[in-house]
Structure 1
Amino acid sequence: MLKKFKNWYRQIFQVQEAKYQDVLDIKNHEVQIQDVDYFLAKAQFTDIPEMLGIERAVYGGKTPWDSAAFASELRRETDRLYLVMRRHDRLLAFIGCTFNEVKSDAHITNIAVVPDYQSRGLGHFLIQIMIKKAQHLGLNQLSLEVRRSNVRAQALYQDLGFTKAGIKKGYYFGDHEDAVDMVLTLSDADD
């Protein structure tokens, strides 16, 4: 009986893991956004220092995540996807997302674009990739948190179809700023 259960368990979860590996696999390649060429790649451990640099540039010298947090996320390849965008070998943007089949939810854990490349479509492009990945996995929603003061990012997310679902009081470490929960119902998202 135990042997049958183990075989059943292995079959179910190996199929799920294979499905996730197929969908979350991404080949490094060039993309064009607003007539500008960029290089899109899966994030590597060697990208972490530059990702921290982007955080410092975006968050006034602070890094909400440290290198250990990024390294921990990059190790979890079966249910996480982290992407980076470069131009002329300079890291300009990154995004991270978790995919949870049990909750039928994908969750954007982190997204940042260097200030001098904001409003050029990079964030929009990266989020659209995660929307498509979550849809391919058959998940019901994509969620994220955003600082209450970051109205520019909230507007981007709303343009992509996200709606405000609530407030998390004192969510952010350090300054304890509130976070706005935002959710995109994937059946409503454009394919």
Structure 2
Amino acid sequence: MKRLALAAALSLFAASAFAAPMTYKLDPHHTMVIAQWNHFGFSNPYANFGDVDGTLVYDADDVSASSVEVTLPLTGLSSFAADFDTHLKSADFFDAAKFPVATFKSTKVEAAGEGKLKVTGDLTIKDVTKPVVLDVTLNKAGVHPMTKREAIGFDATATIKRSDFGVDMYVPNVGDEVKLRITTEAMAPAAE
């Protein structure tokens, strides 16, 4: 009887340990934040916000207990054209000398169907903070084959207005709406 009680207690402990929220560190080499806009109706160029730093907490049993916090250093901004990168970082757009980072911090995470989430959060660009809703798809969660650590991957999309953040040079000729596409891979910390 004691063995059964002990086994039951251990299995309950193991189940609750497995169900606990997991904290992950975003992998900057496998995380991309792509912004795309319309340019005078002729093209739809894009830029990548690289060098992403952040933490993701995911609770599969209670997604409302999940969260994400991300910093996007503007040093990592790349439009794949050096002179345009310089212009984007200038006071005409992001004013990276004065505002060197953009940030996102979630305020609410909700289930939105099988493998889908709605993540609401505060996006801050040039010290202006506005709410943004990300439509998120869980790509995979499990042990990463290379690191042998727990890992998770998501894709997300959102649309924002750049004029809301004071990045409004050439609006409306250059589109005000910016489509964001995000892909991220994150790892649990290495065991000590």
Using structure 2 for the length normalisation, give the TM-score: 0.33
Please state which structure has a larger fraction of its residues in helix.
Answer: 1
Per chain length, whose mean CA-contact separation is higher, i.e. which structure has more relative contact order (CA < 8 Å, sep 6+)?
A: 2
Computing the radius of gyration over CA atoms, which structure comes out larger, 1 or 2? 2
Using structure 1 for the length normalisation, give the TM-score: 0.34
